[in-house]
Structure 1
Amino acid sequence: MEQAAGDEGRKTQDVLSVSVAYDGDPSCIGAARHLAIGFLTEVQAVHGLPVSERAMGMTQLVVSELVTNAVKYAPGPLMLDLQIIQGAVRVSVWDSDPVLPDIAATDPQRIGRHGLEITLAVSQAYEVRREPVGKRVTVLIALADDPGADIAGRTTP
């Protein structure tokens, strides 16, 4: 696995971020998960921002799903960007395949191909867009839990 890093730990105008390019080898999936956990751990320990266990787990899951899809469906390099923006972590994965992902039709017998469904279920926002080369998938995940909210995010009295 080759890894090239740029802008690691960059803080510009109160935005913390890390960006890494991978060659698309399957071993980069684990490396990307470790990068995400290390980044959020540093955000909490060094910069004092609250990061819930849920946010740690969901970020690791989303990074794993997005990078796995890039490795599986877009041979070649990919880029992972993580940014802290307004109380959320912004996960962005670029790959070289211009085909936009879609959710598979509901089928209780289907094994696999649930990554996008999972990603949509645990994120606050989701965007996919074509780039001049390939596409970029971006997801927002809240850093802190809302103790007064139910599972749908509604505040309880």
Structure 2
Amino acid sequence: MALPLMKQADGQGPDALRRRLAWSGTPPAAARARAEADALLSALQQTHRVTVAPHTADDVRLAVSELVTNAARHAPGPGCMELQTAGGGRIVRITVWDASPALPQTRPAAPNRAGGHGLAIVQALSSHLLIQRSGEGKQITAEIPLPEGGLPASHGRYGRSAAPGGSLAPDRATEKTAARSRPEPPRRSPA
């Protein structure tokens, strides 16, 4: 069940835009989760005039698809996805809760392997990624930056620096991973 956008009180910034998609059995199809992401980004652009470049919207949709697909594949049962804006409308925070207490592990890259790359993809797209136990399950939160001012579609996809090395494997001593930061991608100057 999707809940409608919650509008902030007048005079406040765009940080209270939210979408929530909850399920009690089988998680929804990734297409349904992407539609929720589109609704959030559309409201951000229309209500608060925050420009979201097409490639950035693609990044948000891809991260949402990967996280919900992983919940469907590895943790069938009740769960929830929440999308919200943060940082004055410059960040989209994606949080997926599911009923499985098993924390995901990254696997070595294997270009010929079908599947098993979703967490690495979300890590590459995110400025911060947090994986932690929550109640009897787990919660994964990814933050996707919306470049300040956005880039016009005519400038194409901006280059990304390679993500620094490191593992997403949870620290078993603390049962939680630390948030990981990635440097801002280089920006192109208008021609």
State the TM-score, normalizing by the size of structure 2: 0.71
Find the counterpart in structure 2 of residue 132 from structure 1: 135
- Tell me whether 1:50 sits opposite 2:47 in the alignment: no
Partner residue of 1:91 out of 85, 94, 102 = 94
Matches within 5 A, 1:26-105: 27-86=28-87, 87-105=90-108
Q: How many residues align?
A: 153
Q: Report the equivalent of 1:151.
A: 160
Of the three residues 5, 8, 17, the one matched with 2:5 is 8
Q: Given the superposition, is the C-alpha separation of residues 108 and 28 from structure 1 closer, same or farther in structure 2, using an over 3 Å criterion?
A: closer
Distance 1:51 1:154, change over 3 A: closer
Deviation at 1:76, TM superposition (A): 0.8
* Alpha-carbon distance in structure 2 between the residues aligned to 1:35 and 1:4: 8
Deviation readout 1:21-57 (Å, 9 max, x if unpaired): 1234354322111011111011101221121112210
Q: Which secondary structure does the structure 1 equivalent of 2:107 belong to?
A: coil
Identify, as 1 or 2, the structure richer in strand. Answer: 1
Unaligned runs of 5+ in 1: none
CA distance in 2, matches of 1:4, 1:155: 35
Moved over 3 A (4+): 154-157
Alpha carbons 1:97, 1:135 under 8 Å: kept: yes
Separation of aligned partners in 2, 1:79 and 1:97: 12
- Among 111, 114, 117, which residue is 2:120 paired with? 117
Mapped contact 1:22–1:28 kept (Cα < 8 A): no
Task: Tell me how far apart the structure 2 counterparts of residues 4 and 35 of structure 1 sit (CA, whole Å).
Answer: 8
> For 2:64 and 2:53, how far apart are their aligned partners in 1?
17
Say what the alpha-carbon RMSD is for the aligned residues: 2.3
Distance 2:27 2:188 in 1: 43
Give 5+ residue unaligned stretches, structure 2: 162-184
Does the 8 Å CA contact 1:10/1:18 hold for their aligned counterparts?
no
Q: Is the 8 A contact 1:4 1:22 kept in 2?
A: no
User: 1:151 deviation in Å?
Assistant: 2.3
Q: Which has the larger radius of gyration?
A: 2
How much does 1:75 deviate? Answer: 1.3
Deviation at 1:112, TM superposition (A): 1.3
Contact 1:93–1:138 (Cα < 8 Å) also in 2: yes
